[in-house]
Amino acid sequence: MSEIKIAVIRGDGVGPEMIGPALELLKSVGRLWDHDLKLDIVPACGETIESCYDPLPEESLKRCKEAKAVLFGNSGLEKYRKLPLDKRPEHALLSLRRELKVTTNIRPVSIYRELSQLSPLKERQIEKGVDIVFVRDIVGGVLCSPKFCSTGTGGREAYEREYYNEKIVLDTADIAFRLAEGRRGRLISLDKANVLESSRLWRKSVSQVGSRYPQVALTHCFIDTAAMRLIAEPWEFDTVVTSNLFGDIIADEGAQITGTPRLYASAEISAAGAAIYTPNQLHEADESLIGKDLVNPIGMIQAAALMLKLTFGLKEEAEALNQAVARVLEAGYSTRDLMLPGRTLVGTRQMGELIEKELEKIAAEGAAEKGEETV
């Protein structure tokens, strides 16, 4: 029996409701595949902002460090936007990234055929399939640089630096090449090398890693061109690697062109093994959904599946969870954000229960197949 130790930050707003079904499903995976699952519910975000004005207290950070992975729910209530940066819920994630030393963010998106009408793209743009993984550095760039504020000749001024060094690029590029190798062997690196020195370093360093992966076809593209091409010819993108800020933006574009951005996961990992898993859409803007059993739990469930695969090496279990989600969507069930004529509307909890039933069937099918093999 393998031990699976996970720290769980439930988030705030719709976060706790959304993570509920994912936790139930993880327990089912533990029961069905016989794993010793340990979930440590760690207080952070809204809960601790209210209780001690700190989005990630010392003790919570310690417990996250003791786990093998952190499952992090949606957070970022509107009322916290007025707080200083280091008191907001986002800061919990930023501190965790730094403290756990994760280097790379991974965001897979794909279009589910039965939901393709929700995509803002035209049929001719998606008929060849949309299946992309965005790989983004989360250590360098302006998002992680020191912040400067002062007063200059133009009045008050503020700036950050787009800093990169070779090590930062190599760490993320290596993860991207490995992912591309396991997919269709195509990696597109995005930068602004026509203008930025940091991008020229980025491009050179990515190419350098590329020489170790001759089976992966590497191309480079300017970020602004890529933003257009992603809409015009999304089938041309397989694995994408880019810097922190460019990745933050283009991964959201990638989620949005599917029309179903709440179906996907996000992973933050390092070669050393630390990992944080969240839904792709971390900030749920629509607070009118809170407490109404309306929010879509699938992004969080996919995050749990990605965690099983990447951190715990449980490919079969992760695949079963993905399959269970796919079957429920195929059977025509939708939360409110996924509604189309002819589909059946279900709430957060019922969606979780339907996926659980499918998961049980898949586990039984798998056990039967293994039984047959041994006969």
β-strand 155-159 against 36-41: which pairing, if any?
unpaired
Angle, alpha carbons 203-208-214 (nearest 5°): 115
* 248 interacts with ligand IPM by CB under 6 A: yes
Question: Is 202 within 8 Å of 193 (Cβ atoms)?
Answer: yes
258/119 Cα distance (integer angstroms): 5
Q: How far is the CB of 268 from ligand IPM (least distance, A)?
A: 8
Minimum distance, C-beta of residue 220 to ligand IPM, in the bound complex (Å) = 23
Residue 280 CB, nearest approach to ligand IPM (Å): 8
Beta strands at 333-334 and 344-345: parallel, antiparallel or unpaired: parallel
- Shortest Å distance, C-beta 190 to ligand IPM: 16
Nearest-approach distance from CB 252 to Mn ion, in angstroms:
6
Using CB under 5 A, which residues numbered 223 to 282 contact Mn ion? 248
Q: Residues binding ligand IPM: what is the number (CB under 6 A)?
A: 6
Nearer to ligand IPM, 45 or 328 (CB): 45
Residue 301 contacts residue 22 (beta carbons within 8 Å): yes
Does residue 338 contact residue 118 with C-beta atoms inside 8 Å? Answer: yes
* Count, residues in the chain: 375
Helix residue spans in 87-210 (DSSP H): 89-100, 123-126, 166-182, 197-210
At 334 the three-state DSSP class reads: strand
Q: Looking at residues 261 to 320 of the shown chain, list those that interact with ligand IPM (rule: CB under 6 A).
A: 282
Indicate whether 114 belongs to the interface with ligand IPM (CB under 6 A). no
Choose the binding region for ligand IPM from 11-19, 77-85, 89-97, 196-204 (rule: CB under 6 A): 89-97
By CB under 5 A, tell whether 131 contacts Mn ion.
no
Which residues, in sequence order, are bridge partners of residue 240? 134, 188
Q: Is 93 in the site for ligand IPM (CB under 6 A)?
A: yes
| Site for ligand IPM, rule CB under 6 A | 90, 93-94, 143, 248, 282
| Site for Mn ion, rule CB under 5 A | 248
